Amino acid sequence: MDDRAGVQGTLRTRWAGSAVRAGSGFLVAVAALGAVVAYVVRRQPQRALGVLGVRGPVLFGARSPARQVAITIDDGPTPGLTTALLGVLRAHRARATFFLLGSGVEAHPDLARAVVTGGHEIGNHGWSDRPAGLLSRAALAEDLSRTATTIETATGIRARFMRPGSGWLRPGQLRDVLAGGAEVALGSIAVLDLEVRDVERELAFVLRRVRPGSVIVLHEGRPERAGVVPLLDRLLGELGQQGYECVTLSVLVDGAAPPAVTQNRPPPPRTVPTT
């Protein structure tokens, strides 16, 4: 009996060890896949959407005939942080587009109005900070409608652009959003370290990639993301020295050489010989 118990114990130990190794391997694989996805989204957002099967007009950047770029800031308004960002923009005489959360606008309508009175544009970023692609089509429609109404009630402005939470939509969702009259805007340069723990690194990342017509994506929304304020200050200074003008998305798109919106088209259908 002792020998049998010993063998069973050994087998259980080996099985447990194998399970742990298999689980660890799975987690490593998931982490690696996440890193690859983040890399592609950060550097080639249009290709990332194509891989996900999203087809349709989505704004990544514009073919601007002038040295203009659009800086966009997601997840506000946030007490203290939004005000600081508005102060930096005012100091540099720059304009930006704030993609606001409906819940934040409901809680802080004065900050939403401050964005508008500062000469900036407001976009619809949904009601709360959650991945839009995980919502049902009906839930997303309700989410965006509620946010649009809240923004309009607070500011008198009907948002022209929407940006989905986490930066992606399913194909059916995209069709619904476009049918509702909104324009979908992502970006061409995204700072994915939302806390901006290294301002100089993120600054260098953006400056290496900026071109006329670039749409730059930054984030606020939480106190721990306060690093976006010095990053914006440094970025506006560097862009100004390079002769760039920072404008709202509407100004960038309306002044762009057509087509300003990237048409993410599916491949043409294959023809089958009839003979």
Q: What angle do CA 36, 41, 67 make, to 5 degrees?
A: 140
CA distance 170 to 273: 33
The predicted pLDDT at position 129 comes to 87
The predicted pLDDT at position 120 comes to 98
The predicted pLDDT at position 62 comes to 93
Residue 245 near residue 92, CB atoms below 8 Å: no
Give the residue ranges of the chain where pLDDT is below 50.
Answer: 19-20, 30, 33, 36-38, 40-42, 46-53, 264-275
Which residues touch 201 (CB under 8 Å, ≥6 apart)? none
Read off the pLDDT of residues 133-183 as tens digits, 9 standing for 90 and up. 999 999 999 999 999 999 999 999 999 999 999 888 999 999 999 999 999
CA distance 198 to 208: 16
Residue 120 near residue 96, CB atoms below 8 Å: yes
The predicted pLDDT at position 57 comes to 86
CA distance 6 to 23: 26
Q: Which SS3 state, helix, strand or coil, does residue 263 take?
A: strand
The predicted pLDDT at position 257 comes to 79
CA distance 193 to 123: 22
The predicted pLDDT at position 81 comes to 98
The predicted pLDDT at position 29 comes to 53
The predicted pLDDT at position 21 comes to 54
Return the structure tokens found at 238: 């560097």
CA distance 34 to 27: 10
CA 149 to chain centre: 21
Distances (CA, A) of 204 to 14, 133, 147, 230, 233: 49, 31, 34, 14, 14
Q: DSSP per residue over 24-73, as a string?
A: HHHHHHHHHHHHHHHHHHHH-HHHHHHHTT--EEEBS----SSSEEEEEE
CA distance 147 to 254: 24
The predicted pLDDT at position 260 comes to 63
The predicted pLDDT at position 161 comes to 98
Read off the pLDDT of residues 70-100 as tens digits, 9 standing for 90 and up. 999 999 999 999 999 999 999 999 999 999 9
